[in-house]
Amino acid sequence: MDADAWLVLGNSRTFPKAIIRRIRDRKGVERFQLYKWDLNPKRCLLMGGLPRVGLTPDL
């Protein structure tokens, strides 16, 4: 991972439940994208964009 991505751990300490990525829009405003994580990258799913961390929906 890097400084703009965080792993969210659920009950399993081996695999993350989600990844939160910090991005900036065209105006330079920070936004966060929440991805449901899967070992197979083709099955990772964008859950939504969030204005700030802490508003994450249930996965």
**CA geometry: angle at 29 spanning 28 and 32, to 5°?**
120
What confidence tens digit (pLDDT) does each residue in 15-56 have?
Answer: 899 999 999 989 999 999 999 999 999 999 999 888 877 655
In this structure, what token pair is assigned to residue 31? 């936004």
Q: Give me the amino acid identity at 30.
A: E
Q: What is the pLDDT of residue 12?
A: 80
Euclidean distance between CA atoms 4 and 12, whole angstroms: 23
What confidence tens digit (pLDDT) does each residue in 3-16 have?
Answer: 899 998 888 878 89
Q: What is the pLDDT of residue 26?
A: 93
Q: What is the pLDDT of residue 54?
A: 65
Euclidean distance between CA atoms 44 and 40, whole angstroms: 7
